[in-house]
C-alpha cells in the first residue's frame, strides 16, 4: 500500500492535514466565533461557506490522487506468482507472498519480492535480470545460485531443503547485500549481491528460476528507495507566509483601534444613543466582546482562497513545462517533467548552478580514442596547438597563474580508434608486442560486461559506458570478448580462442576507484588484472614497474585533450599467496557486521606490487549547444560551478570547450596535502585578492577533492567560501558524491541566494536533494538522479528555456497572483475600517453579508487565476535574446516583505479610502 488514506481514515487525516495549515486554522477559528450569538456582524455562514468550498475542492483533489494510488497498488498486489505450499506448486497473489516462501518465476516475469536465488534452468545455476525498473539501466545483470543449492530443482528436493538465512535488516542499498545461509548438516555459506534477486526486476533469457523470499512489501529494496524527496519550500512561499503574518497583525491593530474608538465614542455619545442600545453603561459594554466582533469583521483581510488559487496556478504551470515542445528530446521521445509544482517560481531566482560534468555537460557516450602501451602513444594524434598570446595584466602577475603555452584543445567530432602503427608493431614483432597483447587481454577480461550473440554479431551489455567502450575498442583491434560464465571468460585473438578461469572479481566502488579480477590464465598462471584511476594505481605500483614517467606524461596529454583516462596494470600471484588471501576473504565475506568494509580491506591487501602496462583514453563529447547555453546563463548573472570526479586537466579542458573559462582568464589552483598547507594557501590567496575579496572577479578557481577535504573544515570553510565566491568560475575535481552535497550545502547555508544542482547519475543524488532546486538529466547512468529531482530534462541545453523563460514567467505569475489576492482583499475589507468612523464603531457591515462571502470564491476568483497562468513579463524570444532580464526575478526585488508591506499594503489602504469617500455613482 502506497496510499495516504483509507475509506475510514480519510476524513480525520484529511482534516488534520488541512487545519495544520495556519491559514485554514485561522478561518476555522473565525467560523467558530461566528456561531456565537450576537458576536458576528457578518452572519454565521459567510466564512463557513467559502471554507467548506475550499476544503471540498482540495478534498476532491486528494481523493483523485489517492484513488490513482489505490488502483496502482491493486494492479501490483493482485499479480500472481507460483509459490511452493502444502507440498505442491500453487498460484498466489503478490500480496500473499511471505518471507520464507519458495517462489518460482518463468522467463519474462517480474519478481514479487526480494529473493535469494536457489537454482535455475541455466547451466551453473545462472540467470539474467533486467533492472531497468530499478535503476533505468538497459543492460542485463548476471546472477548465480550457490553451489550448495544449485541442485535443488524438483518439488521433492525443495521439500527436503532445511535451514535458515541470517541477513542484514531492510535497507535501500541496491548494490549491496550481506547474509549467511545455514543449511542443516553443512557449514555456513556467505550470500552476497550475486545471489539476490530484487523485486521489480524481470527475468530475461532464462527459462525459470527458484528463490526463497527474504524481504516483502515495504521491506524490499525497491520500496525502500521509494521514499519522498525532502520537503522543499520556495522563497516566495516564505515571503507569503510573512505577508500573511503581517496582515494578521494589521487585522489585530485594526480591531484594537476600532475597540478603542468604540470606547471613546460610547463615552462621548453613549447617553444619546437610545436607539442603538438599552441602558448603556460601562459594565455592559465588554472590550473583549468588541475585539471578537471586529476580528470577525476584518478577518477577510487574509484571502481565504489564496492557497487553493496557488495550487491550481502552480499545477497548470507545471503542465506547461511538461508540454513544452522546445524541451522535447525527439531522439528518445523524452519530454521535460516537473516532478513537483511547489518550486516553479524558484526557477526564476537561481543564482548559483552546480553541474556534474559526465553525462550532464557531456553525452556519456564513450568512444575508445587513444591509449599508451609500454610508453608509446597509439591512436589519433591531435593537430598541433597554437600558443595563446598572454596579456600580462596586473592580475595575471599577482595571482601567479600557470602559463598557457598551448591553447585549449576543443573536442572534435567523433572518430574511432585508428592507428595502423599498433597492429604493425604486433605483426612485426616489436619489442613491446608482449605488452600490447597483455594490455588488450586485460581489457577483454577485467570487466563485468555481458555479451549477447545474434548470429555472428556480438553486442555488449554493460552497466558502465566506459567498460563497453573499452571492450568494443579491443574487439575492433582483433581482441574479441566472446563468452562469459560465472567461472570463465573466453576471448578470441586473431582466430584463436583462450579461456581464462575467473577465481574472484574485486568489484569497483566509488571509494576504491578501481576494479580487479583474479584469473587463472590458459597457461595455468595466477594473475590479478586491475584497471582504475591513475591516483590509486600509481600508489600500488611495484618499484620494478616500467614506463611510469612516460605513462604519466601521456596521461597529462590525454587529460589536456579532454579525455577520460584509466590506468591498467597486473601482478602475478603465487599459489600460496592466493590461498592465504582466499581464507582471509572467505572470513571477511561470511560476517554480517561491516562486511563491505572488511571485504574492501581484504581487496586492498592483495592489490599491490602492480606492473604498469599503460593507460586508456576515452572521449565523451559535449552535448549539443552546451557552450551557447552556458554563455547565456552567465549573461543572466548565474554563476556556474562544475563538480566532477575527473582529473583537473580533463575538467579544465571541458570548461574551455563549453566556454565557462577563457584562455586569458587567470586561474587559482588550490592543491594541498595537509590541513595546515590548505589553510596557508587559502589564506594567501585571500590576501592576494585584497579589496577584491568578496566581489566577483574574472577568475577561475580549481580545487581537487583531497584539498577540499581540508577546505571544508570549520576553521577554513568561511575563507574558502569567500575565495570561491570571488571567482567567476569554480571547478571542483576528484570529488566524492558526499563532497558534492557538502559544497552545495555550504553555499546554500551561507549565501542568501537560490541554488540549483543538475546531474544525471546516482553520485549526483546528494547534491540534487541538497540544493534549493534539483534537476535530473535522463542519461545513460540510470534514473536515480531524475527520480530524486524536482525537475527532469533530457539535455543540459534545455536548462536555458527552463530557467530564463519558464522560471521568469512563473516567478512573475506567482508573485502577481499573490499580490493581487492581497490587494483585492485589503481594498475591499479595509473599507469596513473607514466605515466604522461613520457608524460609531458599532461593527456594522457596509456590504451585504453574502457579497462578502462570495467575493473571494466567485466574484474575484478568475482574475488572479488568469494572471497566475497567462501573464508574461516579456515574450519568449525577448527573454532568450536578452538574458539580462532574468536579473529582475533573480534579485527578488519585486516581491519581498519590505515591498509588500511597505508599498502594496499601504497603497491598497489609500485606494480603499478613496473608494469609500468617492464611491462610483450611476451616470
Give the architecture (CATH level 2) of 332-362+638-799. Answer: 3-Layer(aba) Sandwich (3.40)
Is 645 labeled as ligand-binding?
Answer: yes
467 among the known binding-site residues? yes
Name the residue with cell 502444502: 86
Chain centre distance of CA 9: 33
Q: Name the residue with cell 563491505.
A: 596
Catalytic residue status for 572: no
What is the distance between the alpha carbons of residues 872 and 327, in angstroms, rounded to a whole number?
19
Which of 208-217, 394-403, 853-862 ranks highest by mean pLDDT? 208-217
Distances in Å between the alpha carbon of 593 and those of 174, 351, 505? 18, 44, 21
Rounded CA-CA distance 777/759 in Å is 6
Q: Please give the pLDDT value at position 899.
A: 66
> What count of other Cβ atoms lies within 10 Å of the Cβ of residue 231?
7
For the chain, the straight-line distance linking the first and the last C-alpha, in angstroms and rounded, comes to 65
Contacts of 453 (CB under 8 A, 6+ apart): none
In three-state secondary structure terms, 300 is: helix
Can you name the residues that pair with 479 across neighbouring β-strands? 493
Q: Is 85 annotated as a binding residue?
A: no
Q: Compute CA distances 115 → 22, 86, 166, whole Å.
A: 47, 20, 13
Position with higher pLDDT, 500 vs 564: 500
Say if residue 54 is exposed, middle or buried (CB neighbours under 10 Å; 0-12, 13-18, 19+). Answer: buried
What number of helices (H) and strands (E) belong to the chain? 34, 32
H-helix or E-strand spanning residue 240: helix 235-269
Q: Is 564 annotated as a binding residue?
A: yes
The reply, when asked if residue 531 is annotated as ligand binding, is yes
897 DSSP 8-state letter: H
Instruction: Out of 101, 356, 534, 620, pick the active-site residue.
Output: 356
Q: Say yes or no to pLDDT of 300 above 90.
A: no
Q: Are 27 and 51 a contacting pair, CB within 8 Å? A: yes
Nearest partner of 689 among 715, 726, 716, 663, judged by Cα: 726
For the stretch 229-271, pLDDT in tens is 566 778 887 788 788 888 888 888 888 988 888 888 888 876 6
Q: Place 310 in a pLDDT band, splitting at 50, 70 and 90.
A: confident
The DSSP code for 450 is: E
Q: Which of 120, 162, 165 is nearest to 144 (CA)?
A: 120
Q: 302-306, 318-322, 438-442, 805-809: which has the minimum mean pLDDT?
A: 302-306
Give the span between the Cα atoms of 587 and 180, in whole angstroms: 12
Q: How far is CA 444 from CA 432, 555, 612, in A?
A: 19, 21, 17
Flag whether pLDDT at 42 surpasses 80: no
Rounded mean pLDDT, 623-635? 91
Its CATH class, for the domain covering 83-225, is: mainly beta
Average pLDDT over residues 777-804: 83
Task: Evaluate if residue 111 carries a pLDDT over 90.
Answer: yes
Model confidence at 589, in pLDDT bands (50, 70, 90)?
confident
Confidence of residue 274 (pLDDT cuts 50, 70, 90): low
Q: Is 740 annotated as a binding residue?
A: yes
Give 836-839's long-range contacts (Cβ < 8 A, gap of 24+): 836/258, 836/261, 836/294, 837/261
At residue 373, the pLDDT reads 92
CB atoms within 10 A of CB 87: 10
Pairing of strands 362-373, 611-622: antiparallel
Percentage of residues of the chain with pLDDT beyond 70: 90
Report domain 367-378+416-621's class.
alpha beta
pLDDT digits (tens, 9 = 90+) for 701-716: 999 888 888 898 888 8
Average pLDDT value over all residues in the chain? 83
Chain segment 411-434, per-residue pLDDT in tens = 333 446 777 888 888 888 888 889
Q: What pLDDT shows up at residue 709?
A: 86
Give mean pLDDT, residues 650-674: 83
Give the span between the Cα atoms of 401 and 686, in whole angstroms.
Answer: 15
Q: In angstroms, rounded to a whole number, what is the distance separating the alpha carbons of residues 464 and 461? A: 9
Q: Is 358 annotated as a binding residue?
A: yes
* Tens-place pLDDT, residues 182-200: 988 888 888 988 899 999 8
Report which of 127, 173, 618, 569 is spatially closest to residue 374, judged by C-alpha positions.
569
Any known ligand binding at 438? no
The answer to whether 485 is a known ligand-binding residue is no
Write a three-state SS string for 21-67: CHHHHHHHHHHHHHCCCCCCCCCCCCCHHHHHHHHHHHHHHHHHHHH
Give the CB-side neighbour count of residue 319, counting CA atoms within 13 A: 8
Instruction: Determine contact, residues 754/350, Cβ cutoff 8 Å.
Output: yes
8 Å CB contact between 23 and 309: no
- pTM of the predicted model over 0.75: no
Question: Is 895 among the annotated ligand-binding positions?
Answer: no
| pLDDT classification of 282: cutoffs 50, 70, 90 | very low
Measure Cα distances from 609 to 539, 542, 573, 598 in Å. Answer: 9, 4, 10, 21
Residue 472 has pLDDT above 70, yes or no: yes
CA-wise closest residue to 21 among 312, 316, 233: 233
- What's the rounded Cα separation, in Å, for the pair 828 and 908? 9
Torsion of CA 356, 360, 365, 368, to 10 degrees: -40
Q: How far is 600 from 452, CA to CA, in rounded Å?
A: 31
Residue 721's closest CA among 743, 704, 700? 743
Q: What is the DSSP string of 598-633?
A: HHHHHHHHHS-SBEEEEEEEEEEEEPTTHHHHHHHH
| Rounded average pLDDT over 206-225 | 89
Amino acid at each position: 500500500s502506497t496510499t495516504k488514506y483509507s475509506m475510514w481514515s480519510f476524513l480525520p487525516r484529511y482534516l488534520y492535514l488541512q487545519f495544520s495549515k495556519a491559514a485554514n486554522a485561522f478561518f476555522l477559528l473565525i467560523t467558530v466565533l461566528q456561531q456565537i450569538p450576537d458576536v458576528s456582524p457578518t452572519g454565521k455562514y459567510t466564512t463557513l461557506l467559502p471554507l467548506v468550498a475550499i476544503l471540498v475542492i482540495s478534498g476532491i483533489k486528494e481523493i483523485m490522487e489517492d484513488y490513482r494510488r489505490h488502483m496502482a497498488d491493486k494492479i501490483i498486489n493482485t499479480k500472481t506468482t507460483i509459490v511452493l505450499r502444502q507440498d505442491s506448486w500453487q498460484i498466489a497473489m503478490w500480496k500473499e507472498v511471505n518471507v520464507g516462501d519458495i517462489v518460482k518465476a518463468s522467463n519474462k516475469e517480474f519478481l514479487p519480492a526480494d529473493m535469494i536465488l536457489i537454482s535455475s534452468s541455466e547451466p551453473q545455476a545462472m540467470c539474467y535480470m533486467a533492472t531497468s525498473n530499478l535503476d533505468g539501466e538497459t543492460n542485463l545483470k548476471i546472477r548465480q545460485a550457490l553451489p550448495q543449492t544449485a541442485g535443488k530443482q524438483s518439488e521433492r528436493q525443495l521439500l527436503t531443503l532445511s535451514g535458515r538465512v541470517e541477513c542484514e535488516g531492510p535497507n535501500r542499498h541496491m548494490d549491496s547485500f550481506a547474509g549467511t545461509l545455514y543449511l542443516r548438516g553443512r557449514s555456513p555459506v556467505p550470500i552476497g549481491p550475486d545471489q539476490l534477486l530484487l523485486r521489480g526486476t524481470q527475468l530475461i533469457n532464462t527459462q525459470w528460476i527458484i528463490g526463497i523470499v527474504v524481504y516483502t512489501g515495504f521491506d524490499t529494496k525497491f520500496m525502500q528507495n521509494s521514499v519522498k524527496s525532502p520537503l522543499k519550500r520556495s522563497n516566495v512561499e516564505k515571503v507569503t507566509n510573512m505577508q500573511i503574518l503581517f496582515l494578521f497583525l494589521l487585522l489585530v491593530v485594526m480591531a484594537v483601534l476600532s475597540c478603542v474608538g468604540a470606547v471613546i465614542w460610547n463615552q462621548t455619545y453613549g447617553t444619546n444613543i437610545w436607539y442603538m442600545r438599552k441602558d448603556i453603561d460601562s459594565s455592559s459594554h465588554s472590550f473583549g466582546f468588541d475585539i471578537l466582533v471586529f476580528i470577525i469583521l476584518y478577518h477577510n483581510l487574509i484571502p481565504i482562497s489564496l492557497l487553493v488559487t496557488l495550487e491550481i496556478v502552480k499545477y497548470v504551470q507545471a503542465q506547461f513545462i511538461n508540454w513544452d515542445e522546445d524541451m522535447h528530446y525527439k531522439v528518445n521521445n523524452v519530454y521535460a517533467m516537473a516532478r513537483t509544482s511547489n518550486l516553479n517560481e524558484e526557477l526564476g531566482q537561481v543564482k548559483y548552478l552546480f553541474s556534474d560534468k559526465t553525462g550532464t555537460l557531456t553525452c556519456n557516450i564513450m568512444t575508445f580514442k587513444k591509449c599508451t602501451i609500454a610508453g608509446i602513444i597509439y591512436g589519433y594524434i591531435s593537430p598541433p596547438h597554437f600558443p595563446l598570446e598572454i596579456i600580462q595584466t596586473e592580475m595575471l602577475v599577482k595571482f601567479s597563474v600557470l602559463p598557457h603555452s598551448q591553447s585549449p584543445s576543443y573536442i572534435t567530432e567523433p572518430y574511432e580508434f585508428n592507428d595502423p602503427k599498433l597492429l604493425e608493431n604486433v605483426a612485426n614483432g616489436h619489442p613491446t608486442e608482449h605488452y600490447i597483447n597483455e594490455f588488450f587481454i586485460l581489457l577483454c577480461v577485467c570487466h563485468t560486461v555481458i555479451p549477447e550473440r545474434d548470429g555472428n554479431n556480438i553486442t555488449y551489455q554493460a552497466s558502465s559506458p566506459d567498460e563497453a567502450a573499452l571492450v568494443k575498442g579491443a574487439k575492433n583491434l582483433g581482441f574479441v570478448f566472446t563468452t562469459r560464465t560465472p567461472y570463465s571468460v573466453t576471448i578470441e585473438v586473431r582466430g584463436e580462442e583462450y579461456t581464462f578461469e575467473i577465481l574472484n572479481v574485486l568489484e569497483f566502488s566509488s571509494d576504491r576507484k578501481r576494479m580487479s579480477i583474479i584469473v587463472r590464465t590458459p597457461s595455468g598462471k595466477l594473475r590479478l588484472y586491475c584497471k582504475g584511476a591513475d591516483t590509486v594505481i600509481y600508489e600500488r605500483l611495484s618499484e620494478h614497474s616500467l614506463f611510469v614517467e612516460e605513462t604519466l606524461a601521456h596521461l597529462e596529454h590525454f587529460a589536456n585533450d579532454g579525455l577520460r583516462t584509466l590506468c591498467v596494470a597486473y601482478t602475478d600471484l603465487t599459489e600460496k599467496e592466493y590461498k592465504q588471501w582466499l581464507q582471509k576473504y572467505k572470513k571477511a565475506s561470511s560476517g554480517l557486521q561491516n562486511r563491505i568494509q572488511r571485504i574492501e580491506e581484504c581487496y586492498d591487501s592483495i592489490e599491490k606490487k602492480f606492473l604498469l602496462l599503460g593507460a586508456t583514453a576515452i572521449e565523451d563529447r559535449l552535448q549539443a549547444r552546451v557552450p551557447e547555453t552556458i554563455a547565456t546563463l552567465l549573461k543572466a548573472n548565474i554563476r556556474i560551478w562544475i563538480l566532477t570526479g575527473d582529473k583537473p586537466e580533463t575538467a579544465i579542458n571541458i570548461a574551455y570547450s563549453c566556454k565557462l573559462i577563457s584562455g586569458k582568464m587567470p586561474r587559482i589552483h588550490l592543491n594541498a596535502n595537509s590541513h595546515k598547507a590548505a589553510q596557508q594557501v587559502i589564506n594567501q590567496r585571500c590576501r592576494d585578492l585584497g579589496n577584491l575579496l568578496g566581489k566577483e572577479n574574472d577568475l577561475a578557481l580549481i580545487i581537487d577533492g583531497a584539498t577540499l577535504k581540508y577546505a571544508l573544515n570549520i576553521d577554513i570553510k568561511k575563507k574558502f567560501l569567500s575565495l570561491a565566491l570571488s571567482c567567476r568560475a569554480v571547478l571542483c575535481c576528484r570529488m566524492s558524491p558526499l563532497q558534492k552535497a557538502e559544497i552545495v550545502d555550504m553555499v546554500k547555508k551561507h549565501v542568501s541566494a537560490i541554488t540549483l544542482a543538475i546531474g544525471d547519475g546516482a553520485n549526483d543524488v546528494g547534491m540534487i536533494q541538497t540544493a534549493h532546486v534539483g534537476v535530473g538529466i535522463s542519461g545513460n547512468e540510470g534514473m536515480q538522479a531524475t527520480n530524486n529531482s524536482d525537475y527532469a530534462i533530457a539535455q543540459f541545453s534545455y536548462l536555458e528555456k527552463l530557467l530564463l523563460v519558464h522560471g521568469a514567467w512563473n516567478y512573475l505569475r506567482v508573485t502577481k497572483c499573490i499580490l493581487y489576492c492581497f490587494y483585492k482583499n485589503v481594498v475591499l475589507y479595509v473599507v469596513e475600517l473607514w466605515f466604522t468612523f461613520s457608524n460609531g464603531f458599532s461593527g456594522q457591515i457596509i456590504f451585504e453579508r453574502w457579497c462578502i462571502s462570495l467575493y473571494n470564491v466567485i466574484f474575484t476568483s478568475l482574475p488572479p487565476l488568469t494572471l497566475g497562468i497567462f501573464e508574461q513579463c516579456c515574450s519568449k524570444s525577448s527573454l532568450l535574446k536578452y538574458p539580462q532580464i532574468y536579473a529582475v526575478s533573480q534579485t527578488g526585488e519585486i516581491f519581498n516583505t519590505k515591498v509588500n508591506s511597505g508599498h502594496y499594503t499601504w497603497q491598497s489602504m489609500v485606494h480603499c479610502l478613496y473608494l469609500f469617500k468617492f464611491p462610483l455613482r450611476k451616470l
